Amino acid sequence: MDLDQGLNVITSAQAGERLEFVRTKMRKAQARFDGGGSLDEDAVKLVAVSKTKPITEIVPFLQAGQRVFGENRVQEADVKWPELRKDYSDIELHLLGPLQTNKVKDAVRIFDVVQSVDRMKVARALDKEMKAQGKQLNCFVQVNIGGEEQKGGMAPQETEAFVAELRAETELNIVGLMCIPPAGLPAGPFFAQLRTLAEACGLPQLSMGMSSDYPIGIQMGATCVRVGTEIFGARA
Ligand SMILES: *Cc1c(COP(=O)(O)O)cnc(C)c1O
């Protein structure tokens, strides 16, 4: 993680330009979704995905005003974010990757939002740990929208029942659904399916869209997009 520390560091002004580039694309996509109506700048949340990036490459984006970030590994986040929070108390950190029960305690301590809830066992552990730490993290259910063998997430046809079970058996604050559509296929139809599923579940939030497809996600009604490469540059 630290091998290239310092080599890719940009200024806060450059970081601000990259963020503005993404936000401009977001606003254009939102205009399409809204039919050109009045735009609420904060209607769609931008999660800057900083996985694999060292602290030195993240700081310019904090200096440029970005506060919402995403990581996919608990251990990596633990190395970086408690340190960064010392200087920036209003950070909102999202866990985007798979969660094991033995990492739940650390996850609840480090993160503010969990976007990858997809198993009852982990959900129960999260519920218990949030109560123990007196901390309520908003949660998304991750849906394996393309039904891919190797990918995490709840099967689409089982998602409604899973959400019902979460509501019945835990006090988790389930706010929405998240998906990563299959690579190499148009994302639009998968995003449309996620939206239909969220409506069926009575969930207001949709986390859909990464660097390659966030404008499509927003056009399809995303309330949250997760952008890594287009903000931080390519990962090693
Ligand atoms: C890495 C990652 C992203 C960001 O991907 P980019 O293509 O770099 O924008 C978004 N969501 C999840 C779940 C990820 O793991």
**Tens of pLDDT, residues 52-88:** 999 999 999 999 999 999 999 999 999 999 999 999 9
Question: What is the C-alpha to C-alpha distance for residues 27 and 7, in angstroms, rounded to an integer?
Answer: 32
What is the predicted pLDDT for the residue at 32?
85
Binned at pLDDT 50, 70 and 90, residue 138 comes out as: very high
Shortest-distance Cα residue to atom 6 of ligand 1: 228
Identify the DSSP state of 45: E
The owner of tokens 């866990």 is 95
Contact 62, 92 (CB under 8 A): no
With a cut of 80, say whether residue 6 has pLDDT above it.
no
* Ligand 1 binding pocket includes 51 (Cβ within 6 Å): yes
Q: 35 falls in which pLDDT band (50, 70, 90)? A: low
Provide the pLDDT for residue 33: 84
- Ligand 1 lined by 95 (C-beta under 6 Å): no
pLDDT the model gives residue 43 = 85
pLDDT band at 21 (very low <50, low <70, confident <90, very high): very high
CA 29 to chain centre: 19
* Rounded distance from Cα 78 to ligand 1 centre (Å): 19
Assign 3-state DSSP to the chain and report helix, strand, coil percentages, each to 5.
45, 15, 40
Which pair of structure tokens corresponds to residue 222? Answer: 């995303």
Whether the full predicted model's pTM is greater than 0.85, yes or no, is: yes
